[in-house]
Structure 1
Amino acid sequence: MLNLKNKMLNQQGRISQKLLMLLAIGITALLSMGVWWLSQKPSTKEDEHGHAEVEEHAGEDGHGEAEEHAAAIALTAKQLAEQGIQLAVAELGAVVKSTAYPAKLVVNTDRQAHVAPAFAGHVEAVYVELGQQVKKGQALARLLVPDLVDQQASLQVEQSNLELARQDYEREKKLWNEGISAKQDYQRAYNAYQQAQIQVRATRARIAALGAQTTSQGGYVLTAPIAGIISQKDLVLGENVQLADQLFVIDQLDQLWLEFITPSSEFADIVPNQTIEFKSLQSGNLFKAQIQSLNSQADVQTGRLQVRAKVLSNAAELRPNLMVNVQLQQQQAQQGLRIRASAVQKIEGKDAVFVAAQHEQKIEFAPQSVTLGASSSDGQWIEVLSGLEQGQQYAAQGSFLLKSELEKGEASHAH
């Protein structure tokens, strides 16, 4: 009996230990499930300085993938003022579209002078250098001209003949008045005197027409026909030059031309005397020009038209052969949904705008992808083709700060 009783007590102890072990395992499993469930709930964090509050939302596919712009930034009105973030509303308005074309500044040939000699000669002296500013009438170079030596020698001979003819005429006139000489001798002397005067005047005029001095002893001085800058110089001391060789080019750079090529489809938007703008590729400064001429026919191979405009601005940075961009505006502005260009940021390689929405005492900003159209010529407005609706609020100023806060939040979440 005693052995049977001990055996029963041992069996009851083993059963109690098994129950306790199963109970412990069950409690541990319940605690683990509770911790896992809490870790899956979305959290909202705000730093102790009251900066941006970033909220993350799980994807709807059950795999924990975030949507395209799964973060929002919440700010109070005070924080908006401190950060300089300004709100605006997407609205319908005029967007004056502009198209940029490459263009080139060239010399105004109406304000250019080509200096060439009227004789073939030998270069005795050069008085100016390339790029030098000269005045009208200033000496540029001196040539020794053999032909001019001959003409000046002929002038001296003709002047001597004139003097002899004058003396003969005065003597015959005196004798005729005294009745000593016949009238026909007087008439002959008078005619010879007149002929000698004509020869001298003709030679003087011929030398003067060539721009030479009658007493230069074969020297011929090239002078500047206009004031300007020596842009080309093609002679050196001691060389021989020929008649009509282009030795100097003088440009007046205070008046340049702008030349560019435009497709024939855009030609209707260009009219003579129209004022256009162009931008320097070096400084980004804007300047104005006025359309002067348009080709009446398009190029046979390219179908493009050449346009020439007179530069109205006078700036030191504007020089011939400088490449610029012409901004051509449409004649009439088109109505469309527009936003401030300062609101657009690149997020994940796409154009995006931070859309604002009221959430309790704060304003939430969420990036919204948009498809953009043309920009206004002043760079302030940009057309929205899709992604926004009329009346939606967005961050017009300070969007760069919002982008920085968004990237900061994503970086902290990645760690």
Structure 2
Amino acid sequence: MPGRVGIAVLLLLAALPGCGGKGTDSSAAEKAGAKRSAAPAVEGAMCKEHGVLEALCTKCNPRLVPVFQAKGDWCKEHELPESICPICHPERGGKPAADVASDGAPADGTKVKLKTKDTARLAGILTAKAVERQGGGGIPVTARIVYDALKVAEINARAAGVVRQLHVDVGAEVKKGAPLAIIDSADVGADRSRLAGAQSRLKVAEENLKREEQLEKEGISSRRSVLAAQQELDAARAERASFAASLAVVGASAGGSGGYTLTTPLAGVVTQRKATVGRLVGVEETLFEVVDVSSMWAELDVPETELPAVSLKQPVVIEVDGIEGRELRGEITYVAPAIDPATRTAKARVPLANPGGALRANMFGRARILAPSRAAVVVPRAAVQRAKTVKLVFVRLADDQFEARRVEVGATEGDLVEVTRGVRPGEEVATEGSFLLKTETLKESIGAGCCGED
């Protein structure tokens, strides 16, 4: 019903003081202006007698009284504007609070005064009570998906050499022990030669021991000669085992030339390949990265103010941007002992199963760390308005007056949102039509100057 909405908006704007409504007598305003021109008040000067800004002192300048009364900003008891009354609001020092804060949003406590009690109804403004209930919505935090660090293999050359052949490329799925590349290495060739020599010496030592034992039986050789032969055999065996172990470390067999096969220590997906055929590689270079993506980690950024409520094995519900309509569940297995000095958050880790591979590293999402049931104040989502960089809720003080409250919100469940600061249980907040109230609190909106702080 466009016509009705248009009329409602006009009624609201017209009802707000200062927007075309009746204010001060024009002749009185002209006389007051003449008086101020004759003796201009110094900007920011205080009235020493009454303790308020000299320019706003209604006791020194009675012509300002009807102006503040028309705005509903009047303290009858002390006969001063309530917004600057030093007795009612000693914390303000006789000065009004700024209508719009430095961040460009309405100041906390900014009031919107309607002319009549029916204005809110005609403008379509509805209200609902803020209620306290036991909630377990949890602590909302940001989440980032990363690889499970225990299932990431960075594979480098076991011995310096030249890449002769590649078996895999990025994206290949490999099983544990699968070949990745063949590398020719002079060091491996030398170890194979030494192993062959050790095997020959071992064979000779075995034959020599048998001969010495036979001669001892015949009384020709002494026991000392047998022990010496045994010692030589033990040394040959140790030398052979050493060279065989050296080749086993690089993945080379005892036979063949100077090449060896580089294999993967775990099953997964090849995510990096820096090796190219013909490239000379050293032992310090990472040639392949293989990742088992059957499980991933979610890293949570937990604000330091929420850390006391976070503990190990606490359940977490995660929603990832790239996976719509699916909630992932897990438990916290680690909370960092240090705070990031830039973000004032600590990292928490949640392992997640990833059987279908839908989770990918560096995905972002939102998580709720489920906390034990606790009392929480909730309001309808429609009651929370965003103004500049802050969130506002308009609390009804009377049928014809609303107050803007800067609020902090927590978890959202359905049509309700948790308010952690700014609203008390039982207070009535504007829901439908609260957007109209918000527009009246912004300087650049129509009707600016029609609201202020009491």
- Once residues 232 and 309 of structure 2 are traced to their aligned partners in structure 1, the CA distance between those partners, rounded to angstroms, is 73
Q: CA deviation at 1:102?
A: 3.0
1:142 aligns with 2:187: no
Deviations along 1:93-137, one digit per CA (max 9) or x if unpaired, are 345555543332111112222222321111111111112211111
Contact 1:95/1:338 (<8 A) preserved: no
Shift, 1:242, TM fit: 0.8
- Equivalent residue for 1:70, pick from 107, 111, 122: 122
Report whether the alignment pairs 1:246 with 2:298.
no
Q: Which residue is equivalent to 2:375?
A: 334
Q: Counterparts of 2:306 and 2:123 in 1: how far apart (Å)?
A: 44
Aligned amino acid, residue 236 of structure 1: T
**Residue 158 (str. 1) matches residue 198 (str. 2):** yes
One-letter amino acid matched to 2:335: L
Contact 1:373-1:382 within 8 A present in 2 as well? no
Match of 1:278 in 2: 318
**1:171-210: per-residue Cα shift (whole Å, max 9, x none)?**
4443443344555555544443443333323322333344
| Residue aligning to 1:381 | 416
Distance 1:200 1:165 in 2: 12
Does structure 2 conserve the Cα–Cα contact (< 8 Å) formed by 1:100 and 1:328? yes
Aligned partner of 2:362 among 311, 318, 321: 321
How far off its partner does 1:376 sit? Answer: 4.1
Q: CA deviation at 1:91?
A: 5.9
Change (3 A) 1:370 1:148: same
Q: SS of the residue aligned with 2:285? A: coil
Give the letter for the 1:254 counterpart.
Answer: S
CA RMSD, aligned part only? 4.6
Amino acid at match of 2:177: G
Of 325, 330, 333, the match for 1:292:
333
Decide which of 351, 355, 361 is 1:311's aligned counterpart. Answer: 351
Cα distance in 1 between the residues matched to 2:348 and 2:376 = 31
Deviation at 1:68, TM superposition (A): 5.4
- Decide whether aligned partners of structure 1 residues 194 and 259 sit closer, same or farther in structure 2, where only a CA change above 3 A counts: closer
SS at the partner of 1:320? coil
User: Which range moves more in the overlay, 322-331 or 271-280?
Assistant: 322-331
Contact 2:130 2:423 in 1 (8 A): no
2:247 to 180, 191, 207: 207
Larger-gyration structure (1/2): 1
Cα distance 1:121–1:382, how it changes in 2: closer, same or farther (>3 A)?
same
Instruction: Please give the per-residue CA displacement for 1:276-326, whole angstroms capped at 9, x wherever unaligned.
Output: 222222344432232222232333x43713222223353533111112223
For residue 113 of structure 1, what is the amino acid of its counterpart? A
* Range 271-280 or range 192-201, more displaced: 192-201
Secondary structure in 1 aligned to 2:237? helix
Q: Secondary structure at the match of 2:141?
A: strand
TM-score normalised per structure 1:
0.61
Worse-superposed segment, 381-390 or 278-287: 381-390
**Structure 2 CA distance for aligned equivalents of residues 163 and 388 of structure 1:** 92
Q: Deviations over 1:33-60 (max 9, x none)?
A: xxxxxxxxxxxx9xxxxxx9x9989788
SS at match of 1:147: helix
Residues 1:253 and 1:179: Cα distance change in structure 2 (over 3 Å): same
Aligned length: 318
State the Cα deviation string for residues 12-67 of structure 1 (Å, max 9, x = none).
xxxxxxxxxxxxxxxxxxxxxxxxxxxxxxxxx9xxxxxx9x9989788998x994
Distance (Å, rounded) in 2 between the aligned partners of 1:188 and 1:383: 87
- Aligned pair 1:261/2:283, yes or no? no
Distance 1:247 1:70, change over 3 A: same
Partners of 1:96 and 1:377 within 8 A in 2? no
Residue of structure 2 aligned with 1:236, choices 269, 276, 279 = 276
| Corresponding residue for residue 226 of structure 1 | 266
1:304 partner amino acid: R
- Report 1:76-225 matches (<5 A): 93-96=133-136, 100-181=140-221, 185-225=225-265
In 2, the alpha carbon distance for the partners of 1:211 and 1:166 equals 28
| 283-292 or 213-222, which deviates more | 283-292
Q: For the Cα contact (< 8 Å) 1:92–1:337, is it kept in 2?
A: yes
CA contact (8 A) 2:183 2:260 kept: yes
Q: Structure 2 CA distance, aligned partners of 1:260 and 1:228?
A: 25
When residues 274 and 182 of structure 1 are mapped into structure 2, their CA distance, relative to the original with a 3 A threshold, is: closer
Q: TM-score, normalised by structure 2?
A: 0.56
Distance (Å, rounded) in 2 between the aligned partners of 1:96 and 1:183: 85
Structure 1 residues 139-148 or 181-190, which shifts more? Answer: 181-190
Instruction: Name the CA distance, whole Å, in 2 between partners of 1:324 and 1:387.
Output: 31
